[in-house]
Amino acid sequence: MKQRWMLVMAALLFLLAGCQGNDWTVSVKTSPFYKEGTASSFAIAIQKDGKPASGLEVTAIFEMANMDHGQIVASLEEKEDGLYEGDVQLPMEGEWDVLLQIKDGNETIEKLVTLEVKRQDVAAMINGMAITTADVKFYQTRWQIEISSAMEAVKKKYRGEELNERISYWERQLNETAEPRSAVTRLIELHSMALLAEEKGYSVDEPVVDREVEKRKRQYEGSETARTLLRQYGESAFWEQERRYVRLVLLAQNVWNDMVEQVKNEHPDVTEAEMRFLAQKKYDELLVSQIDSLHIQLYLSEL
């Protein structure tokens, strides 16, 4: 316990010293998680006298609370004004004390924060929000249901060469959804545009989500393959995650609608097909820009 005592004493000494008259505040923006053999992100925002503090040298010393497992040291780099981030690989979940050593020229400030580190099977992180392996499995199952239902409908409607072409298309889609990296990519795209929609002030009412979920339930009831896949996945767990998925889709739909309106205003005489093409082009360009603006980390080695 000697090291923990030293961390606590260092923080107490800092508080007693009063930080030489300056008002320093630290807030945790991204808390690390535990995943065996995987480093995760730790990010903090530092302010001095109420303003983002830039140009600092920041070191984070991790020590597990109430246990003597040694210290883990990570250097944090400034990503934007006052925001410092670094990766740390922690050996277990639980409560961790973090002593932050902040060097501002000749002045060194120390702050102590406590984190509750949780185990996560993470596939990706977007601005500190996790896309888990469970999310990936749900997405794959969902699209298996959608594609299998579409294939059932195609078999009822078409015959001969046209049927073969359409089945071949859906089989390629089915193979793509079986690849975890493809599923993660699509989930990142969806989350990114949902975040953009929220930045634009859009929201989704729960009754709207309810109606959309009920619509999907009725749709799946008519497909034997869908019913089988739902039973295998677990119906209760599937519909719980479907609600979250539907909310993301509805948020992203608002951004798509904005692109459609822009095209209609800029090109009032285009055909429906041309309008959709131009709107899709705008949407894709916006998606690339949005993804570039986010902090995205991938953890795909175990998928």
Give the dihedral of Cα atoms 232, 236, 239, 243; nearest 10 deg: -150
At residue 13, the pLDDT reads 40
Assigned domain for 94 exists? yes
- Residue 128 belongs to domain spanning: 124-298
Assigned domain for 193 exists? yes
- Tell me the pLDDT tens digit for each residue of 180-237: 889 999 999 999 999 999 999 999 999 999 999 999 999 888 888 899 999 999 999 9
Phi, psi of 52 (to 5 degrees): -55, 130
CA 105 to mean position of chain CA atoms: 36
Please state, in angstroms and as integers, the Cα–Cα distance from residue 156 to each residue in 57, 148, 209, following that order.
Answer: 66, 13, 31
Assigned domain for 234 exists? yes
Q: Tell me, yes or no, whether 96 and 228 share the same domain.
A: no
DSSP character for 20?
G
Assigned domain for 223 exists? yes
Assigned domain for 82 exists? yes
Q: Tell me, yes or no, whether 114 and 187 share the same domain.
A: no
Q: Tell me, yes or no, whether 81 and 194 share the same domain.
A: no
Residue 147: Cβ within 10 Å count:
20
At residue 89, the pLDDT reads 93
The answer to whether the beta carbons of residues 139 and 148 sit under 8 Å apart is no
Domain final residue pick, 66, 89, 120: 120
Q: Tell me, yes or no, whether 62 and 24 share the same domain.
A: yes
Q: Tell me, yes or no, whether 241 and 199 share the same domain.
A: yes
More confident residue, 197 or 68: 197
Q: Tell me, yes or no, whether 22 and 57 share the same domain.
A: yes
Assigned domain for 184 exists? yes
- Tell me the pLDDT tens digit for each residue of 109-160: 999 999 999 888 889 989 878 899 999 999 999 999 988 888 888 888 899 9
Nearest Cα neighbor of 121 from 185, 180, 34 is 34
Task: Output Rg (C-alpha) for the chain, integer angstroms.
Answer: 25
Domain final residue pick, 68, 101, 120: 120
Q: Tell me, yes or no, whether 164 and 276 share the same domain.
A: yes
228 Cβ contact list (under 8 Å, min separation 6) = none
Domain final residue pick, 92, 120, 148: 120
Q: Which domain CATH number covers 42?
A: 2.60.40.10
Would you call 30 helix, strand, or coil by DSSP?
strand
Q: Tell me, yes or no, whether 97 and 145 share the same domain.
A: no
Assigned domain for 59 exists? yes
252 Cβ contact list (under 8 Å, min separation 6) = 190, 193, 194, 197
Assigned domain for 111 exists? yes
The CA distance from 56 to 105, in Å, is 8
Q: Tell me, yes or no, whether 106 and 200 share the same domain.
A: no
More confident residue, 303 or 279: 279
